[in-house]
Amino acid sequence: MQSIDHHSPKIGYSIREACQASSLGRTTLYNHIAAGRLRATRIGGRTIIPADALYALVAGEA
């Protein structure tokens, strides 16, 4: 039987989680998405921001 690692790093963030993780506001994140500086994808009715895209934005690489 395999054990499940419950502490694996997140690979995607909801808008709310991205706001908390980055200390940026919801409107700011949506503005970055609209300007093409932050990659986001829609899955069902949710907007998911890949972790690497969020890290790049915060690091100034976007």
Q: Domain spans of the chain? A: 12-59
pTM, full prediction: 0.82
For 1-62, strand residue ranges (E) read 12-14, 41-43, 46-50
Quote the pLDDT of residue 7: 74
Structure token digits, residue 47: 């907007």
Higher pLDDT, 44 or 62: 44
> Quick one: 2 exposed, middle or buried, by C-beta within 10 A (0-12, 13-18, 19+)?
exposed
CA-to-CA distance for 44 and 12, rounded, in angstroms? 14
Is the separation of the CB atoms in 58 and 21 below 8 Å?
no
> Is the pLDDT at 40 greater than 90, yes or no?
yes
Q: What percent of the chain has pLDDT over 90?
A: 81
Residue 4 is classified by DSSP as: P
> Is the pLDDT at 14 greater than 80, yes or no?
yes
CA-to-CA distance for 13 and 23, rounded, in angstroms? 13
